[in-house]
Amino acid sequence: MKSLDPRVNRLPTLSREITTKVPLDQLGTYEVFVQAKENKPFQHEGIVHASDIELAFVLAKETFTRRFTCVSIFVTDTRDVYVSALTEGTVNAYDTLPPYTPNANNILENYLIFHLLKRGKQHVLAGKVTASTPQEAMLKGKENLQDGKPVFNVWAIRESAIRHTQPEEMVLWKTLPDKKYRDASDYKAGDKLTRFLAQRKNEIL
Amino acid sequence: MKEVALKELLYKIADDQLILGHRNSEWTGFGPLLEEDIAFSSMAQDKVGQSYALYQLLNQLGEQEPDTVAFMRNAQQFHNCQLVELPNGEYDFSLIRHFLFDTAEAIRFDLLSQSSYQPLADLAKKIKGELQYHTLHANTLIKKLGSATPESIGRLQNSLDIALPYALGIFEPSPFESSIIAEGFFAGEAELQKQWILKVDALLAQTQLKPISWPTVKAIYGGRNGQHTEHLQPLLDEMSEVFKIDPTAEW
């Protein structure tokens, strides 16, 4: 059948041979964090599939920062995000952390700590701590990064596992505010429709 | 003379962007994975946007409205190189073309940021980030797939061999080349080609693709002069189909 979409007509014809089902060939996932404006904290925006962290960074840029303002993003392998228990009501996820005995011989690293302050919203960067394990990092977050409100979920990510936006890459988002054509509202379709209908009405009358 | 040379320069850059932008948009909805589909479509949209900015400059120099220029010319009136009009083929060809073309485009606009024609220099500075993303995207994928599996390397190599003669067609000298350089509008196609070869060689050296033996690659010229392959006119017919139903319609 001929399609009205020329792209469909260009597709190769499908084979009619009966074959076995092909196993899923899925790339791994990477978590994407976006900073909408200078001085605003990074927040979790979503996930991309990619073969490595560098490609994840490249694909994250267009997948999550095509329209809304953005000054910087970073990505990390989903397997590098350590998560606490998920709580609700008045239960603070920090209070569910198991006890932890620090080992003096452990190597200290920087961790970024993220808080989920409202169920259904995104995880927002709360701050940075130094710790030797994700669990210790969360306990440091409990001590230093809380502001009274219950935290429903805590994430800890080693800073060394993050692909940041480099200073020379900040230019990637420079023309974003000009790309109004990416916003449906820029086409003012509603106004045009109202005008068209009014015109039609006059013509009928 | 001066203005004719400038217009010729602007037309060929704009036509390249419009035609490749349209070609790449044919992948929308059919990309190899969702995230790549979005990225490739976004870059196609950037290219059409860049061509629009250039057609606006031409309009200020007395040429017709951007929409008229984009949708109402026939193939012989287009100045794009033949590389950009070739069909998409499979994704390996589209990626190789994206890499070869956008490497040249990023250098071109970097050189144009020094143009004596101030509106063009301003535009070049403005879109620097878009072009940087396009080359980051192309380089990342070519580096990855150019070293991944025998199939990915073989496919890219095959597409590279097909695309290279057309890619050299990007740098087809203009009849106004000396005037364009003397007026300081642009450093010239020869300078651009020289810098482009260095960049292409450097990137390919990070893959398992064969180093290019440049003297054996014969450039395919003609596009800048309105000589096109059989593939351009059908693209233009499809691109302008809706516009031509009612050229005065408001969008």
| A89 three-state secondary structure | coil
By Cβ distance, the residue of B30, B39, B49 closest to A62 is B39
Residue A84, pLDDT > 90, answer: yes
Give the pairing type, strands A162-164 and A153-158.
unpaired
Q: What is the pLDDT, as a whole number, of residue B223?
A: 97
- Among chain A residues, the shortest Cα distance to B145 is held by A51
**Nearest Cα residue to B19 out of B90, B92, B113, B83:** B83
Give B121-180 pLDDT, tens digit per residue.
Answer: 999 999 999 999 999 999 999 999 999 999 999 999 999 999 999 999 999 999 999 999
Task: With CB atoms and an 8 Å threshold, state whether A61 touches B130.
Answer: no
- CA dist., res. A44 & res. B25, Å (int): 29
Instruction: Give the whole-angstrom CA distance, residue A65 versus residue A72.
Output: 9
Question: What's the farthest any 2 CA atoms get from each other in chain B?
Answer: 53
What does the alpha-carbon distance between residue B8 and residue B179 come to, in Å, rounded to a whole number? Answer: 11
Identity of the amino acid at B181: I
Q: What CATH topology corresponds to B2-245?
A: Ferritin (1.20.1260)
Q: Alpha helix (H) ranges present in chain A?
A: 6-10, 53-64, 134-144, 189-204
Cα–Cα–Cα angle for B13, B163, B151, rounded to 5 degrees = 135
Helices (H) and strands (E) counted in chain B, each on its own, are: 10, 0
- Which stretches of chain B sit within 8 Å of chain A by CB? 26, 28-30, 33-36, 38-39, 42-43, 45, 49, 88, 126-130, 132-133, 136-137, 140-141, 144, 148, 238, 250-251
Cβ contacts (< 8 Å) between A187 and chain B: which residues?
A: 251
Contact B126 A63 (CB under 8 A): no
Provide the CA B47 distance to its chain's centre, in angstroms. Answer: 8
Could you give the CA distance from residue B81 to residue B172 in angstroms, rounded to a whole number?
Answer: 8
Rounded to an integer, what distance in angstroms lies between the CA atom of residue B100 and that of residue B83? Answer: 9
| pLDDT for residue B56 is more than 80 | yes
- Percentage above 90 pLDDT, chain B: 98
Query: CA-nearest residue of chain A to B28?
Result: A7
Q: Which residues of A touch B149 (CB under 8 A)?
A: none
Residue A203 pLDDT grade (very low, low, confident, very high; cuts 50, 70, 90): confident
Complex prediction ipTM: 0.92
Q: Which residue has the higher pLDDT, B211 or A184?
A: B211
Give the pLDDT of residue B23. 97
Contact list in A for residue B145 (CB cut-off 8 A) is none
**pLDDT computed for residue A126 by the predictor:** 97
Counted across chains A and B, CB pairs separated by less than 8 A come out at: 70
Contact A174 B34 (CB under 8 A): no
Which strand (E) or helix (H) includes residue A123?
none
The type of residue at A123 is H
Query: In angstroms, rounded to a whole number, what is the distance separating the alpha carbons of residues B118 and B129?
Result: 19
Q: A69, A174 in Cβ contact below 8 A?
A: no
* Integer Cα distance of B101 and B81 in angstroms: 10
Q: Choose from A30, A55, A186, A187 for mutation: most chain B CBs within 10 A.
A: A55
Six-digit token string for B69: 């220029």
Query: Could you report the per-residue pLDDT of A6-15, keeping only the tens digit for each?
Result: 888 887 777 7
The DSSP code sequence of B114-166 is T-SSHHHHHHHHHTHHHHHHHHHHHHHHHHHHTTS-HHHHHHHHHHHHHHHHH
CA-closest candidate to residue A49, choices A75, A82, A21: A75
CA torsion B241-B244-B247-B251 (nearest 10°) is -20
User: Which residue is closest to B140 within chain A, CA to CA?
Assistant: A55
Q: How distant is the Cα of A73 from the closest Cα of chain B, in angstroms? A: 14
Q: How far is A60 from chain B (nearest CA, A)?
A: 8
Closest-CA residue of chain A to B130: A172
Distance CA A122, CA A116 (A): 6
Per-residue model confidence as pLDDT tens digits over A133-169:
999 999 999 999 998 899 999 999 999 999 999 999 9
User: Residue A1: how many CA atoms within 13 Å on its side-chain side?
Assistant: 3
State the Cα–Cα distance between residues B91 and B27, nearest whole angstrom.
Answer: 9
Q: What are phi and psi of A173, to 5 degrees?
A: -100, 10
Find the closest chain A residue to B27 by CA distance.
Answer: A7
Domain boundaries, chain A: 25-178
Bridge partners (DSSP) listed for residue A158? A111
Assess whether pLDDT exceeds 80 at residue A23. Answer: no
Structure confidence at residue A1 (pLDDT): 64
Average pLDDT, chain B: 96
Measured distance CA(B153)–CA(B243) in Å, rounded: 41
